[in-house]
Structure 1
């Protein structure tokens, strides 16, 4: 469920009441821990954390007019989604996350290639998310992206 809103404030207003606190805390966790240089903006109908064109003028290979995406969060129909391109692109980061997750959450890990789904708001491992967000600097992400995705 992509939102058609163009502002973060409007997106936050759309979030169901029973998810607002958890979603807000997830957003704050990202903002407090994301390395310098990433910018928060609406991206693909979600709140995204991107490498701006001022740092990476080439933009995203799928659409160079868009900045390079890194993390996104979304309120979907049945869960909060946390997308982290680093765990998709770096197998060692994915393995670390999969190992650490059960140490910090009683809930079984529910994830796709880059999407972690949180269905129980009281089971979001915020400390683990904070640690994950800190693990890749903006330059490391650009280097990883260029070696993994760009031809």
Structure 2
């Protein structure tokens, strides 16, 4: 679901009212728990946190003029999505996340390759997302990215 916005706050304000609180909480969680070095911005039309060029000058392999994407979130037609590239690139982190989800009795995990879908805003496992956000530093992400993606491009 495309939302026209010039910044992250405008994006959240333009989302459906019933999802704004969850989107605000997601933003606050990422601001608080992501390790230092990630930079907040709109990326691909959604709130995102990236590794800026001053930390990773090579940028994103698909378009080196863009910073390296790490995590973003979006309001979609039927759900709120959290896109975490680190899970996609790291089988160990993916296994940890799935095991933690099951151990936390969070219900059925609705997930794509790097997209975690939340249809019920009241059942978002915030404590688990805090742990996920704090798991990977920019340096960790760069190393995983280079081993998982750069060798394939």
State TM-score, norm by structure 1: 0.96
| Structure 2 segments unaligned to the other structure (5+ residues) | none
Q: Does 1:27 align with 2:27?
A: yes
Shift of 1:105: 4.5
Shift of 1:26: 1.3
Q: Within 5 Å, give how 1:90-101 maps onto structure 2.
A: 90-101=90-101
Count of matched residue pairs: 151
In 1, are the aligned partners of 2:3 and 2:15 still within 8 Å (CA)?
A: no
Change (3 A) 1:65 1:3: farther
Residue of structure 2 equivalent to 1:136? 136
The Cα RMSD (Å) is 1.1
Q: Within 5 Å, give how 1:50-89 maps onto structure 2.
A: 50-89=50-89
SS at match of 2:150: coil
* Deviates further, 15-24 or 40-49: 15-24
Give the whole-Å Cα distance in 1 for the aligned partners of 2:18 and 2:111.
Answer: 22
| Structure 1 segments unaligned to the other structure (5+ residues) | none
State TM-score, norm by structure 2: 0.95
In 2, are the aligned partners of 1:60 and 1:66 still within 8 Å (CA)?
A: yes
SS at match of 1:107: coil
Residue of structure 2 equivalent to 1:14? 14
In 1, are the aligned partners of 2:60 and 2:69 still within 8 Å (CA)?
A: yes
Give the whole-Å Cα distance in 1 for the aligned partners of 2:31 and 2:105.
Answer: 21
Shift of 1:54: 1.1
